[in-house]
Structure 1
Amino acid sequence: MCDLEYGWNYNHADLTKAIGSQINPNPIFYPVNADTNHGTAVIGELVSDNNGWGTTGICYGSSLKTCGTVYPNSTTWNVPGAMAYAIDSLSAGDVILLEQQWDYYYPAGGYIPIEWWLNYSPNPQTFNGVYAAIGNAIANGGGNGYVNTDYLTWFGNSGAIIVGAGGAYPGGTWPQGDLEKLPFSSYGRRFDLQGWGENVTTTGYGNLYSAEGYNYWYRRDFDGTSSASPVVAGAVACCVGYWKANISANPASPHYVRTILINTGTPQAVPQTGKIGPRPDLQATFTAFNAEWVDLTYPPLGEDTSYSSGVAWGDYDGDGDLDVYLTHGGYPNELFRNEGRGVFVDATSGPLGDSDFGLGVAWGDYDNDGDLDLYLANCFTANKLFRNEGGGSFIDATSGPLGDAACGTGVAWGDFDNDGDLDIYLVNDGSANKLFRNDGGGAFVDATGGPLGDPGNGTAVACGDYDNDNDLDIYIVNVGNANKLLRNEGNLVFVDATAGPLGDALNGRGVDWGDYDNDGDLDLYFANAYAGNKLLRNDGGGSFVDVTSGPLADGGNAKGVAWGDYDNDGDLDLFLAKGDGAILGPNRLLRNDGGGSFVDATSGALSDSGMWSGSALGDMDNDGDLDLYVGNLSGPNKLFLNQIGSTKHWLHVNLVGTVSNKSAIGARVRVVSGGLSQIREISGGSGYLSQNSLTAEFGLGSATQADTVEVRWPSGQADTMTAVSVDIMLQIYEGGFIRGDANGDGVINSADIVYLIDYLFKGGPAPNPLWVGDANSDGTINSADVVYLINYLFKGGPPPACP
């Protein structure tokens, strides 16, 4: 714990941890005055000794640091400087309590947290200091003065936990009572949690006990957000300590801790007289820590409850983590940028906020310039192609047939003619489907012919090479008409290969390809509303067998479908997002136990009821397991954090095409480890109106290496690597090259750092090709690439970047 404020009595007999805690040479106020009393009371709540007398701190087992915010020989506050001192002296997982707010003069004597502008001038430095504290959970007292922060100019979400003052018990000093906002507390939508804002007994001041001098002073009525914020900070410290002792040696994400405390807390009393949030409930939090799935939804995620349909994961800004785009039929769509640490920010701008009836959506680099573009299917208005210009800027590049204004539903990118650029297949409800061929230079032509123009009321599409001939085939799910399998014969010639159970003619919704039995070919699962879903096993030679049994049949109202090895045990599991019409969820997670057997593994937050729609799997926090985002037609969307898959080994493979399309959509990756062979294909859209991440994600169970990694590219190029390390994100360029693999041995490790140092400073041989040594993709090879690799390998930094 580190407390940032004015001063403390380091000699208090009940605060032995205060001795030697100071890390910023703030002037110590003697004799004792209000400033040292304040700090003494705060740290008394946190860490006063568990010695059988006096008071006992909430997190008395924590170590303590104190950091002054007034610099020596100066009367000037320097909160940003103090933050820098504190951050430099702490480690990831440590907790900072910031007992500083801005003065706010209307009303007189009011105070507001550091995320809002002063009424007379903005001051971003403190905000930036808090935002820079990556890995440190920060609690910031919300301030007294009854200020409604919703009407102030906001810098943005710093990542801090903003704390309000709530009633401690019925019949307290204030008439509001337990869990109600006390009248003096500032408040607003951004406030996260409340603590006891009245009658807290702690060290300092002396109005409870003062007989033995100020080193034995105690107070019985410490109040305000000053007393509330150490309650919350102490709860945070207990959380991160419990996590480290019982869950993982890696520190818990501050955003995760904030979110789970909010979601498990005791709700604020209603009716609210101003939002300050729930009060922490540590027992409920610790229970949630041990859950397999945790609801990590936090604003701005989940705030828009208007008809969320499609969900697409994609790293549009190339920073190494997954961002997410959501369609909202008839309301503005949204793009949320992943800032790391579990924090998402609303990055919707320009045409991305299209408010037509958006349904299907998918990412793909159609112009092969190294960043992901976006195609959006609208119903009864023009579809849209948004070209990524870099720097967070997208432009509407819709032209020609791309603006088809039928009722677009499912959409998938794919290089259907294997010419090195991405084409688009669009499913329409009530009119003919379309195939748009990419002719380069931003031009698409309508290449729909034969069965491609199926008019069967399509709702979803999934593309995959089911016959292993290295071109993408198409499966279309229809409502009230037979589903269709279209086999790609090459040169954009498709034939209707629908036979047997493939022609299911019920109320189709989502669909996805996946090799659930690890026999080397793609099997098919599709969902039906108001009827049984189907698992069709690919037996080769164009033959599919209905092997639906047990929970796979799931008798109705499913929409989203996504294959993924959520538990990293080496076989594909299945997620179903449910809710259609008046029939609400809950969702279903079906675990693959091998041998064709699936069991219902739905638990905790995953089983929430709702009118769930599109869903997508992706490792949004880069910890090696698949997380889940689910859209909701009539309530908040949900982001679910996976906490079970990271207990086993894994390998994630990112592909970059050089001859094939840059996104490598249609490429197949095969990994052999411990005698188990698995395949994944990079998909340009699947499920229900949605898209999983463009990464090939493999669970390896207990295997300690991947014996073989093979890539089959759409161009026909095949690349193979052997003895690949586990628990890494591997980036492979077509031709077998790996950015950052300076010595060309097929894996990125410390030997590449040595190789680059030898090349740069000792006259050693150059990387071959030279660009593989450019780990940070800035166009040059220098010491910055060495630092980049060190951060990636040893400090949790992003993998070597795409150019």
Structure 2
Amino acid sequence: MLFAAALLIGSIAVTPPAVVHAKSPTTNVQFGMAWVDFNADGKADYCSDWSSTELRCVLSTGIGLGQRITGFNQDPGYQEGRAWVDFNGDGRVDYCRVVAAGGKSLSCTLSNGTSFGSTYTSGGLDPGWTAGQAWVDFNADGRADFCRVIGTWSQKVQCTVSTGTGFGATYTSGNIDAGWDAGRDWADVNGDGRADYCRVVSSSKLQCTLSTGTGFGTTFTSANLDGGWDDSRDWVDFNGDGRVDYCRVVGNFSKSVQCTLSTGNNFGSTITSAAMDVGYWVTRGWADFNGDGRLDFCRITNALGVCTVSNGSSFGVTYSHPSGNYSYISGNGWVDLNGDGRADHSTVEEQTTFYLSTGTGWGGPLISPPPSA
């Protein structure tokens, strides 16, 4: 989960604010929708590929949603491979996707902050398997590149880099074990600012292949461990050292959360929470609830929005607020609405509701019309 998404989702940050939304297992932007920073003001905006004909971003005011920005979208791209990421390194997220041009190609439409701008499209290429596709910073230049797994019996990983005004070189690894679909991610495991390829291999091991910026380098592998439930596997920075760790839900009737720490060139200790309610999987996200640089485990459970904080070497206090809405997957987000560096909680259905994090609890709720209004 590398970009807010940014993945995310993401685990290395090219977009400035801490914007993390709940996940779908098939696409890092939930069918073209994401909480991201469209205008580089440090606040999370709600962007979507609206009805596959229009790009739409509704800007955050810090206390709700305000101005709507729209742009015509000729080709929204395949559902998998869509992402809102910073393609040209200006701090604003752009809309990138895989399109059916020249066979299959990459395409990115830029944000100007107040409108949508130029679109850049690559030549034909192999976009790879959907499990393992990601828009991440492969070479640490601040721009989002497109990485993926290619091949059938003999698999490799490949990254096509952004030049900011187009697409440049493509770098390909040697043959590797690409791992199980669940748990594949591009994340910075050694803290050098470049996205590495990490995955779960065999039945119970972790493996990461490092990016050199112009190719692929060392691969290191963990000892046997519990890989956790498929829908819970995340590569996130649990202890705030700039290196992503491997976190997941383990257990059957009694569930816990585990994080195995990265040492930069190997895997270290595993930290296990007490038994807890791990929530509805579609609402889970790792986000910095209290602004300390460590990602906390957030989710909706039993009509409560809940975050359990990371202390770096253990799991700490759990903070909750009432929240009955978990049906609209793309609207459930753990996002920084007001730019204070702490992840707030959004839900979207008949209205948009925000609960603001205070770092030691929740404020709000703040109510806005839904982004589609």
With normalisation by structure 2, the TM-score equals 0.64
* Aligned mate of 1:525, from 225, 233, 247: 247
Instruction: Specify the code of the residue in structure 2 equivalent to 1:494.
Output: G
Is the 1:512–1:524 Cα contact (8 Å) retained in structure 2?
yes
Kindly provide the CA deviation profile for residues 763-799 of structure 1, in whole angstroms up to 9, marking residues without a partner as x: xxxxxxxxxxxxxxxxxxxxxxxxxxxxxxxxxxxxx
| Offset at residue 627 of structure 1 (A) | 1.9
Kindly provide the CA deviation profile for residues 520-560 of structure 1, in whole angstroms up to 9, marking residues without a partner as x: 75433245898875311235651233322224783884674
Instruction: Specify the code of the residue in structure 1 equivalent to 2:187.
Output: C
Cα gap change, 1:370 to 1:611, in 2 (>3 Å): closer
* Aligned mate of 1:563, from 277, 287, 302: 287
Corresponding residue pairs, total: 326
User: Partners of 1:372 and 1:523 in 2: how far apart?
Assistant: 25
Q: Any stretches of 5+ residues in structure 2 without a counterpart?
A: 1-28, 363-373
3-state DSSP of counterpart to 2:121: coil
* Aligned mate of 1:373, from 91, 94, 104: 94
User: Partners of 1:529 and 1:639 in 2: how far apart?
Assistant: 32
User: Partners of 2:290 and 2:248 in 1: how far apart?
Assistant: 22
Larger radius of gyration between Structure 1 and Structure 2 = 1
Counterpart in the other structure of 2:309:
591
Instruction: Specify the code of the residue in structure 2 equivalent to 1:412.
Output: W
Cα gap change, 1:512 to 1:551, in 2 (>3 Å): farther
3-state DSSP of counterpart to 2:190: coil
3-state DSSP of counterpart to 1:625: coil
User: Partners of 1:526 and 1:333 in 2: how far apart?
Assistant: 36
Is the 1:459–1:477 Cα contact (8 Å) retained in structure 2?
yes
Cα gap change, 1:361 to 1:477, in 2 (>3 Å): farther
Residue 545 (str. 1) matches residue 269 (str. 2)? yes
Counterpart in the other structure of 1:289:
none
Counterpart in the other structure of 2:354:
640
Q: Any stretches of 5+ residues in structure 1 without a counterpart?
A: 1-306, 579-583, 649-803
Residue 349 (str. 1) matches residue 63 (str. 2)? no
Instruction: Specify the code of the residue in structure 2 equivalent to 1:397.
Output: Y
Counterpart in the other structure of 2:122:
399
3-state DSSP of counterpart to 1:590: strand
Is the 1:359–1:410 Cα contact (8 Å) retained in structure 2?
yes
* Aligned mate of 2:345, from 618, 628, 642: 628
Counterpart in the other structure of 2:221:
498
Is the 2:106–2:123 Cα contact (8 Å) retained in structure 1?
no
Cα gap change, 1:620 to 1:320, in 2 (>3 Å): same
Q: After TM superposition, list the pairs within 5 Å mapping 1:364-513 onto structure 2.
A: 364-366=86-88, 368=89, 371-376=92-97, 384-388=106-110, 390=112, 391-401=114-124, 404=127, 407=130, 410-414=133-137, 416-418=138-140, 421-426=143-148, 434-438=158-162, 441-450=165-174, 454=178, 456-457=180-181, 461-464=185-188, 466-469=189-192, 471-476=194-199, 484-489=207-212, 491-500=214-223, 504=227, 507-509=230-232, 511-513=234-236
| Offset at residue 604 of structure 1 (A) | 0.8
Counterpart in the other structure of 2:57:
336
Is the 2:183–2:200 Cα contact (8 Å) retained in structure 1?
yes
| Offset at residue 392 of structure 1 (A) | 0.7
User: Partners of 2:360 and 2:316 in 1: how far apart?
Assistant: 21
| Offset at residue 561 of structure 1 (A) | 2.7
Instruction: Specify the code of the residue in structure 2 equivalent to 1:514.
Output: D
Counterpart in the other structure of 1:718:
none
| Offset at residue 596 of structure 1 (A) | 0.7
User: Partners of 1:437 and 1:615 in 2: how far apart?
Assistant: 31
| Offset at residue 442 of structure 1 (A) | 0.8
TM-align CA RMSD? 4.8
| Offset at residue 612 of structure 1 (A) | 3.8
3-state DSSP of counterpart to 2:342: coil
| Offset at residue 395 of structure 1 (A) | 4.3
Cα gap change, 1:397 to 1:612, in 2 (>3 Å): same
User: Partners of 1:534 and 1:387 in 2: how far apart?
Assistant: 38
| Offset at residue 338 of structure 1 (A) | 1.0
Cα gap change, 1:386 to 1:472, in 2 (>3 Å): closer
With normalisation by structure 1, the TM-score equals 0.34
Cα gap change, 1:404 to 1:501, in 2 (>3 Å): same
Quote the sequence identity (%): 16
Cα gap change, 1:338 to 1:490, in 2 (>3 Å): closer
Is the 1:314–1:372 Cα contact (8 Å) retained in structure 2?
yes
> Looking at both structures, which has the greater relative contact order when contacts are Cα pairs under 8 Å and sequence separation is at least 6?
2
User: Partners of 1:639 and 1:479 in 2: how far apart?
Assistant: 42
User: Partners of 1:426 and 1:468 in 2: how far apart?
Assistant: 21
Q: Which has the higher strand share?
A: 2
| Offset at residue 331 of structure 1 (A) | 5.8
User: Partners of 2:53 and 2:204 in 1: how far apart?
Assistant: 31
Kindly provide the CA deviation profile for residues 385-417 of structure 1, in whole angstroms up to 9, marking residues without a partner as x: 323163412444232256837536652320x33
